[in-house]
Every structure is written in structure tokens, then in C-alpha cells.
Structure 1
């Protein structure tokens, strides 16, 4: 197993990450190095993106590229890296090899090897916190539709479905993410649709009364500018933001869609917004 790491300047990290995820849609490991951020990709020789492609993706933000060999026990250590999380005492997110929680929290099973977004990253946890902060949807049988924009592994949509939202759907520009979302939804026994949609090339995102968007700043601004097709959202949860970017994104959705900020959560250097009409 090989670990290919790219170090970039912190001020350019979000742009570099967006480009790197296009080459490695299964996700990257993120390591905080102070004024630098390291993104690492794991794989067997011949399975990793070409070094010139990685260098081009990181662009002017690139500081260093390193390649190291990982010991044979990486598969077990990789499992240890993914630990279950509990959010708000109501949601429990775990990998398939972790035991079920004691009765109480809603159990969500996500395979971390399929797509980006297992619940452990601050951006996903903040989205789940804000989702729990919403008033519960109507009684079963008359749920409230929800759209997960940039669904990744499907964890946000699956959580929403288990909380009573419906119908629930997601879109992502990566076919692997669409497949992972559908597979994870089936494992969790919830109904969730997913389709491929490239926010940069395919136009406005599909809409719903509630929209969850765990995206980087450039894509959130693009969603705000392009708007939504079909139902216009009354609630948007926007995450994937560095703390200093939150004001700009909140202002963009306010000006374009009449959505006002009613809550903001922080985790590490990240922030998430709850916006309402």
C-alpha cells in the first residue's frame, strides 16, 4: 500500500481539495499542519492518480508531494481510524464492522471505503447537528422532502430519512458517490434516490423544501448563484465552509433567495449555517 500526500498552503486549501477530490472521489485524508494542510490518498501501485495530475490539481497552492510505503497492517489500522460518532444523543454513525449501539440513538451504518463523508469530519457533523436542530417533520406518511446536494456517501440523506423526512434524494457529480449513496441507503433500510448532477456543468441543483449542502465555498456560491429547479427551499443547511467564509455564503443566499441565517455552528476551523426563508 502506498500513501501519496500533497501539502498545500492553508489559504489555498479549499480550492486544492476540490481539484484533488475530482481525481480521488473516494475521499482524501486531511492532516492539519498549521500554516499548511496535507491531503493524502492511499492505494496500491498503479491505482493512484498520476503525480503530474496531482501537481496540476494542487496548482500554485502546492508546497510538497511525498510518497511513502504503508505497512502491511494498514487495513486494520485504517479500520481503527474510523470510529463511531454520536450526534446530539440521537444519531449514531458507525462503520459496518462496529457493533450496534445500545437502544436509544438512531443507528446509521456507512461504509467509509465507498465515498467521501462518513460523519466523522467536522463539516458532516455540523450538518447533522443543524439537521437535529430543525423542528421534526410531520407525522409518518406526510413527511417533508429533502435534497442532499453533494451527497457523497449518503450519510446526511440517510439521517434525514431516519428522522422522518421524505421523499429524500441526493445528487453528486461522482458516479461512485451515487452508487455508494444507493448502497448505503439499502443497508440502512431507507428509501433514498440519488442521481449524477455536476453543479459546474449541469445547471441549477434540484430543489426541495429542505436542502442540505455540504460543499466547499466555491460550489456553495455557485449553488446560490444558479438557484434550484422545481421546489424552492425554505431551509438550507450549508456546510463545508472555513469559519471566515461563512458570512460571505450567508450573504449570498440571503441576496439571491431571501434566506436569512438563524444558526451557525463551529467545529475546529469549519462552520455550518442554518438558513431559513
Structure 2
């Protein structure tokens, strides 16, 4: 396998990547050509900071081909195009053969939620101190416990075990929160999502973890629950305020995540007609908001 590496200005990235795909590149990736230099520029920003630019000023476009001849022919054809102006071929080089599955697996370790509660990829042994374990493989689900919002939700579940409770995971993704609730003694768990693929993922992950729950589309959520979990994002959480609040039973808890610290006041205001949200945890610029309905 050979890689064709190109350097191009911001406005050439899209036509260049489209052309590489038309030339049947096996895959195409785009990176910051100035990474690890003083000119490096973040695209995704940080919590509380202004929205960054959409592209780097100089990008490195890397395309993989099955042979050196294919890579060189692609470089030749691209160099003849008008949109190649300002671009350059940085290198054409062989890519060492590797066991990509093993290499990918080596990058993911078990994730501790608490000293006794862990998320463990299937290729790892369970830590001896773990009494509650979720088996979930990174890259194979819609949420794997590596993001602060997921960890905070799971920490809350561990600190407030929903023993013999009815639990709703709204926007379940991989079902990781629903599975966590089931492992901590929930009597019944409904997990809902607007994406049928997420519903299927939740079902499959529940089976793999040996827990019982019901996964479905949002209309599956019926009545009130002792615990309502929603790890989404601030904007949909605001829109869903009356719906989610209506599902919280007297004495029950609403647990919201996917909220940046700077968005806390807006969420509290959105839910104020029904429930009083308070910050219960924070990590890396994200907060966990929790409300209790009076019993």
C-alpha cells in the first residue's frame, strides 16, 4: 500500500478530496499541515471559546492506493487540473503492513467510572477491583464512556443506584447509560432514540452485557419514571424540556448531560417552569445537571 501526500491551501481541499475519491483512492484523510508548529490552528475549539474556523489555512491531504503506480498516476493526473494550482506533492511513500485491528485495540484501555465500576473493551481482562462492568468496544457504538458527559452520568448512577426503580434513558445511543442503570439494580429500563441504528445498538449491547431492557423509538417512553437520563446536547435538551420533565415521577430525578458550563444558566431557565436544575458534577468544561421533583 502507498500513500500520496499533498499540501494544499484551504480552498482546494474539497475539489482535491473529491478528485482523489474519483481516482479510487482507498481512503482520504485531511490534517493540519502546520500541526505541531506555531502556526497550528484548532478547528473544534474549547468550551467557552468563540467558534473556530471551518478549515485549516494549509491542509495535508493523504490518500492511500494499492500500488505505487496508482499513487504516481493519481499525482500526475491531479497536477494537470486547474484546481491543483497552489498545491504540491509532498511525498509518495510505502505504508508498512500492520495488524490494524491489533493497533487500534492497543489504543483503548479499560475506563474507570468509579474504583468499582468500569467500562472494559471485550479484548481486555476485567480489573480485579471491578464489581460492575460494562463491556463495550470503542468504535462499535454510539457512545463508549470515553467522553466526560458519559462518565459523569455513569458516576451519578453509581452514586445513586436506581435499585428497584423505573428508569428512562432518552437519546440512548449505544445504551451505555441504560445498561449502567440495569447493572445497578433498576427494576425496568426503557431506552429510546430517534435513530433506529442506535436502538439496535442498544439492544445488541444489552444482550452482550446480560441485562434486560426495552429499546425503541421515543414513543416507547410512557408514563413517569423514578430516574430520567438524557445525555444529548444543550439545544435539543431545551426543546425537550416539557417532555422530559413530564416523565419525572414525584420524588424522581432528572439527569441531563451534554451541557457546557457556559450553557448552564440557559438550561436552568428552560426547565424552571417544571424543575430546578442544579450542577451536580463538572469535567473538562462540561457539567451534569440534576433536578429532583418534590415527592
Fold match, TM over 0.5?
A: yes
Structure 2: state its 5+ residue gaps.
Answer: 1-25, 33-39, 46-51, 65-94
Distance 1:155 1:193 in 2: 13
- The SS at the match of 1:241 is strand
Alignment map for 1:168-247 (pairs within 5 Å) = 168-197=189-218, 207-227=224-244, 232=249, 234-247=252-265
Distance 1:110 1:173 in 2: 21
Deviations 1:2-59 (A, max 9, x none): 365699xxxxxxxxxxxxxxxxxxxxxxxxx875318xxxxxxxxxxxxxxxxxxxxx
1:276 aligns with 2:292: yes
Q: Which has the larger radius of gyration?
A: 2
The alignment's TM-score, normalised by the length of structure 2, stands at 0.65
Deviations 1:102-156 (A, max 9, x none): 154311101333322111111100111122232x344xxxx10111111111111
The aligned counterpart of 1:264 is 280
The aligned counterpart of 1:102 is 128
The alignment's TM-score, normalised by the length of structure 1, stands at 0.68
Runs of 4+ in structure 1 over 6 Å off? 202-206
The aligned counterpart of 2:55 is 63
Alignment map for 1:77-92 (pairs within 5 Å) = 77-92=103-118
**RMSD over aligned Cα, in angstroms?**
3.1
Q: 1:194 to 1:34 in 2, by over 3 A?
A: farther
Q: 1:227 to 1:148 in 2, by over 3 A?
A: closer
- The SS at the match of 1:97 is coil
Distance 2:31 2:236 in 1: 22
Distance 2:63 2:259 in 1: 32
The aligned counterpart of 1:116 is 142
Distance 2:110 2:53 in 1: 33
Matched pairs, number: 220
By how many angstroms is 1:79 displaced?
1.7
Paired residue for 2:154, among 128, 132, 135? 128
The aligned counterpart of 1:2 is 27
Distance 2:268 2:62 in 1: 41
Structure 1: state its 5+ residue gaps.
Answer: 8-32, 39-59
